[in-house]
Amino acid sequence: MAVNQDFAGRTYPPSGPWPVDADLIAAFAAAVGAEDPVHTDPEAARAAGYADVVAPPTMAVRFSQQADHDYISDPDAGIDFSRVVHGEQRFVHHRPITAGDELLGTLTVDSIRAAGGHSMVTTRTELTTASGDAVATCTSTIVVRGGGE
């Protein structure tokens, strides 16, 4: 089954809310070898001007991939997850994610294009607070390898 081009441009209702806590930030920081005390020490984080401990820059992917899920797992989307490779990822942080945040993610399928027998699917998740303040823009391109039909 080919990737369904009709999904390009589609925006989904917000996913979440996802609470962010200090334990999650500490676990993510440890997993990526991030030793900056702003990840684990609330006093260090406040001294640097943040409300609480700060997430590492790529932790937003935990939420953006959850926002992706409704789209990618939709049988009509035509995405065989066993043939998916992560091609590209980008984050723009409007402000750092900190403990105490409750995030919503709004997914848009930015583009679906064919390239050399594969499909390149670019999705964008806008992470916001419950009141709609912008937190991060997460853009991901997955490659759905062709040849499986």
Q: Which is nearer to another protein, 32 or 130 (CB)?
A: 32
Q: How many contiguous H segments (helices) and E segments (strands) does the chain have? A: 3, 5
**Can you tell me which of 3, 61, 72, 77 binds another protein, judged by CB under 8 A?**
61
| DSSP letter (8 states) at residue 54 | B
Is residue 14 near another protein by the rule CB under 8 A? no
Shortest Å distance, C-beta 32 to another protein? 3
Is residue 85 near another protein by the rule CB under 8 A? yes
Nearest to 61 by CA among 17, 28, 33, 100: 28
Distances (CA, A) of 21 to 42, 71, 79, 97: 12, 26, 32, 10
Q: What is the binding site for another protein (CB under 8 A)?
A: 24, 27-28, 30-39, 44, 48-50, 54, 56-59, 61-62, 65-66, 82, 85-93, 96, 139
